[in-house]
Structure 1
């Protein structure tokens, strides 16, 4: 009896000591919450990566982020097949949009589906850059069955995150904080995740599509929430970099940056940006951003009618070692083969020149010369 008693005491003490040690480790981790990476830290991380090239990815069967991630419409067969298209042409990363309402609706299921997606991507040697929030297109997202696309209209069902109702209601900010902290914490040490794009085009006022229903003070609301979002994400101590891409304005001098752009660059571990203009402007933008001394990620480009093409941009990106993510991948429910002006101009058939996207649903390329070029340049650069 005494022997059992003392064994129990010893076991209890062992558990208590282990718990104390673990508590100490946890407290230490909390107290050593990481700060923004220095240029040296960012460069060290980037030097371990291949030349990163990919697309903004959503399966062709989803009209928006909610249809991609909700349980009833999470389409692993299409995701796996279409990531295979990317692997075949040498792509090794994808930029993928999450959504706070998908998390709010079913956090455990959402975690599991993100995990499944990461496993599928890993099978194809692809590391996703995960996007947490997005200010583009429809300000009124709703869970449940998503609407059908409007015929011939670019991104007719894409939704913002957080939506307008959450953005203007500070009582919902704790919910958003919980989403950011928990999703980053869940995958903070996951080697399958390349990084976190904290907020896509945070000051986008949606142009002709939804401008009439946007909040006039949207940017004033976004700026403090963007700052908090960086803080929330960083508090989960991610091993991966954080970023938020600047996309419009004059970047020639820091004094010319808008307040939100200064915030984005200051809080980003690596600097990201968008460019849909001619190759000459793309190169000029790269040179302007090199002054920050951090790796550069072009997280949106490629609009054929604008002069933004793979053949025009990728050689420049390879020269400066800039990571590249074109918009659009497989022609599907997002309908981004149609241009932005499809919101104001009537189209009744496929445009003479696709705006975005690379593949048809069956995997055949829109332009064989483009996919051949992507395959060739990715192979050449990553063999060096």
Structure 2
């Protein structure tokens, strides 16, 4: 699509409502039940009813046709459906096609939703891993039965350390900052104090990543509602405008990356900024998919907040923690808030809540712009969204 065509979409759609449910632990709920609770919360937050929803975006790692039972369970009759599955970035990747569908008149209100009972599920995690390997075979890696995803991200972390002098302490700064934000967030699953030494001394999972360098395994559901911008004037909440969005995929397997320190976020970010007419220096709040601590460093670099190789130095001394120079993952991220298999939708929800001024103790004063970035697979799919208030239009 041409740059001019993309720029014409800038601000054409808004996030009109958001909702979450079952954050952390929700025993007794299925994936679908969690999703439905969050979906109803988001629709109500937008001042709409399920009868108003005529577009659906959803995905699941456990089902290849997940949109069908979601339509059935919620009682929808959508004119637009997107169930593209790109891993944890899927829900951010859904934004741009949904904007096109809204502009084309295929629908008027799009529900983007996800739910997973990954932590409380009655079947074991080994079964989950086995099913994912069956649904998503990786021919060059799976025969060796690597411990995925941790070992893939450990490779990227090791390379970054070797090439740029990044240290385990730098990675620990990311985990400690995420926990400091989580302690300000009543929804966050892990809110106990966490120090650099706690991270460095934690059980090693895949060298150089300890358990505190790895995301949580939780239950949880999130949803949001997109409408055309002009319709949002008649809805109750403060609209959050989608200013830019892009998705990029360079590889599926970590072994197919040309450079373990450079991700496709460098492409998706550049394209999203171009659509928004903004750059990294214009962003007030940053929400990054932090499945592992190395992710945050890579995405800060690839999205232009610091130069390649300088991520470790950039986050030192609490620079991305509360009170630091750049607020990153203000809900606590996947490391300390919630991570029910796929996290991307929660980055979008936190970005929207910040721009709506709804974040209580962790609220960033005067936030008018935000970036939400999603990652899927093993540094595989990357999707970036730039959001803004009316003042950012």
Calculate the TM-score normalised by the size of structure 1. 0.31
Larger C-alpha radius of gyration, 1 or 2?
1
Task: Determine which structure has the larger strand proportion and give its number.
Answer: 2
Task: Determine which structure has the larger helix proportion and give its number.
Answer: 1
